[in-house]
């Protein structure tokens, strides 16, 4: 009798799963979202902490209870780091993280009636600014360099629906750029599906 009850419960769960997927507002379609969160940028053993913020858009293709999506994001950061005495005793070296552009894909699965968990990966390009002041004059920096670094990003996240078309999301992502620069971010966001 227990085996029969277990088999009936398993069958009922299997039949109900497509229904839950049909009701899940996090599956399929065009979406736009805003993000804000923690940004930790590093090179070798030096790190700069700050806040990242930005906007993104994408389109998710639905296959039953799964999604396959493409997405793009533009963000900025307040992360910067100053080091005194980098070359001589009176100098200052300051590195600032700037805008970050991302394009990639994600795969996910609907969980319950209104949630989604996913993994993502893609190409990212970040801008950094380096200012060097030798400390001998209170004028403009002696040296300013802006550089764009190419890299890859990978991450995992979760979304939960709030209403019929809106959702909240949280995400961890890791980016690895040229020249030994990397970035860890934990972000939260609000999005809308159309």
Phi, psi at 12, each rounded to 5°? -60, -40
Spatial separation of the C-alpha atoms in residues 41 and 97, rounded to whole Å: 8
2-193 belongs to CATH 2.40.160.20: yes
Torsion of CA 104, 108, 61, 110, to 10 degrees: -150
Q: What is the pLDDT along the chain (194 residues), one digit of tens a residue?
A: 444 444 444 434 433 444 344 467 668 899 999 999 999 998 777 788 999 999 999 999 999 889 999 999 999 999 987 776 666 666 777 788 899 999 999 999 999 888 999 999 999 999 988 777 776 666 555 777 888 999 999 999 999 999 888 999 999 999 999 988 999 999 999 999 98
For the chain, the structural domain boundaries read 2-193
Alpha-carbon distance 101 to 181, whole Å?
15
Between CA 84 and CA 134 the distance in angstroms is: 10
CA separation for the pair 185, 187 (Å, rounded): 6
Q: Are 75 and 53 in contact (CB under 8 A)?
A: yes
Q: State the Cα–Cα distance between residues 157 and 170, nearest whole angstrom.
A: 6
pLDDT score for 139: 59
- The CA-based dihedral angle spanning residues 184, 27, 168, 20, taken in that order and rounded to the nearest 10 degrees: -120
The pLDDT of residue 5 = 44
Q: What are phi and psi of 21, to 5 degrees?
A: -65, -35
Dihedral Cα 119, 128, 34, 185, nearest 10 deg: 40
> Beta strand pairing status for 115-133 and 143-161?
antiparallel
Provide the H-helix boundaries in the chain. 2-23
| Residue 3 CB neighbour total at 10 angstroms | 7
């Amino acid at each position: 009798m227990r085996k029969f009850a277990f088999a009936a419960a398993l069958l009922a769960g299997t039949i109900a799963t497509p229904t839950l997927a049909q009701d899940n507002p996090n599956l399929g379609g065009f979406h736009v979202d805003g993000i804000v969160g923690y940004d930790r940028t590093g090179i070798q053993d030096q790190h700069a902490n700050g806040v990242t913020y930005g906007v993104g858009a994408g389109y998710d293709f639905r296959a039953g209870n799964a999604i396959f999506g493409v997405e793009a994001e533009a963000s900025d950061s307040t992360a910067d780091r100053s080091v005194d005495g980098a070359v001589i005793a009176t100098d200052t070296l300051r590195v600032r993280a700037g805008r970050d552009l991302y394009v990639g894909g994600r795969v996910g699965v609907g969980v319950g009636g209104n949630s989604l968990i996913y993994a993502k990966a893609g190409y990212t390009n970040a801008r950094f600014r380096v200012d060097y002041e030798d400390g001998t004059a209170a004028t403009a920096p002696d040296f300013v360099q802006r550089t764009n670094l190419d890299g890859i990003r990978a991450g995992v996240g979760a979304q939960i629906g709030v209403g019929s078309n809106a959702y909240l999301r949280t995400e961890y992502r890791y980016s690895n750029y040229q020249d030994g620069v990397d970035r860890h971010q934990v972000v939260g966001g609000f999005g809308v599906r159309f």
